[in-house]
Amino acid sequence: MSYDFDGTSAAYRCASAVVTTTPLTFACWFNSDSFAAQKYLMSAMDESSGTLNGFVLAVSTLGRAVAFTFGSGTQNSANSTAGGSTGVWGHAAAVYTSSTSRRAYYNGGSEGTNSTARAPANAPDNVVLANYRTNAYSSTWFDGRIADAAVWNTDLTAAEVAELGKGVSPLKVRPQSLVWYAPLIRDLVEIRQGLTLTANGSPSAYTDHPRTFGL
């Protein structure tokens, strides 16, 4: 199974500061119903401030993975050089080495980079699936399915991201640095620390799931 998000209010939020600064890595599988607008797959943001601060893995209107860094409402991003199609499972990853190094990958490759200096003014205090926050309206709710969402507190190498894009489980890729993992296959649970995921709107279980190995 995966979990389906409606693009208007459905999200899952984990109220824990899993990662607060670079280096870090986001990765997940996604199957989008629409690329009409840029949408957010997963994020670690500061929800308490009035401006955007944190990190976001998104999918663009071209179906490409995007690695955002937000600092006091201003952003810089890296875009993968290729993307996918609606209705098809693809893998997205965002790797942040420092405030001047962010990388985005689609299906384990198509690396795009950005080196403009940008860092959050406030540390993230949550992890959110299908948007960047749940306490304010935005047009960035993801419309489609998400599976195998993971966060590392290190910057994975291009070779390690390539393994994830082949369907290798995050549990088998730098497991000592894997700090948050929601397979979204059967039960809705974060399995690294047992952290609670709270629903916003009505995300729903879905029978389709990308093929992964090593669970």
Q: Three-state SS across the chain?
A: CEEEEECCCCEEEECCCCCCCCCEEEEEEEEECCCCCCEEEEEEECCCCCCCCEEEEEECCCCEEEEEEEECCEEEEEEEEEECCCCCCEEEEEEEEECCEEEEEECCEEEEEECCCCCCCCCCCCEEECCCCCCCCCCCCCEEEEEEEEEECCCCCHHHHHHHHCCECHHHCCHHHEEEEECCCCCCCCCCCCCCCEEECCCEEECCCCCCECC
Residue 49: what pLDDT? Answer: 76
Look at residue 187 and tell me if it is in a domain: yes
Structural domains in the chain (count): 1
CATH number at residue 29: 2.60.120.200
Residue 206: what pLDDT? Answer: 84
| Regions in the chain scoring below 70 on pLDDT | 137, 213-215
Look at residue 211 and tell me if it is in a domain: no
> Does the predicted TM-score (pTM) go above 0.75?
yes
Q: Which domain holds residue 130?
A: 2-206
Look at residue 214 and tell me if it is in a domain: no
Look at residue 215 and tell me if it is in a domain: no
210 Cβ neighbours under 8 A, 6+ residues apart: 2, 29, 31, 89, 91, 147, 148, 167
Look at residue 109 and tell me if it is in a domain: yes
- Would you say the C-alpha torsion 129, 130, 135, 140 has a positive or negative sign? positive
Look at residue 212 and tell me if it is in a domain: no
